[in-house]
Amino acid sequence: MAIQLVTDQLSTELDEMFRNQIIGNFKTIEKALNDLDTFQTTLNFEQNKINQSLKDIDHGLESIKVDNKNRDANIEAIVKILSDYDVPVQIVNGKVLETEEGE
């Protein structure tokens, strides 16, 4: 959205130097406002990229959580099978440990 200020339509009854200074000020303000508009558009674009990256990271973390649950379930299933065949193992603090007979 380009902003255009009325600059050249100031009364010619003003002192010529003062009139030119005021016109120059308006043109400077107009350029700054348009630059801000451009920066805002860029900022919005970058914010959208960051938000998408965060969604991607969140999706990746969720995938890791699912993988960890699957791994833990598999380990527990293996330990159960081994226990059914009297192999002395158990899970302690998330680790499979060999145990002595009768423990």
Q: Is the pLDDT of residue 27 over 60?
A: yes
Two tokens, residue 23: 């016109």
43-73: pLDDT as tens digits: 999 999 999 999 999 999 999 999 999 988 9
Map out the domains of the chain as residue ranges. 16-98
Size of the chain in residues: 103
pTM of the model: 0.48
Which residues, 6 or more positions from 101, have their beta carbon under 8 angstroms from its beta carbon?
88
Q: Coil, helix or strand for 96?
A: strand
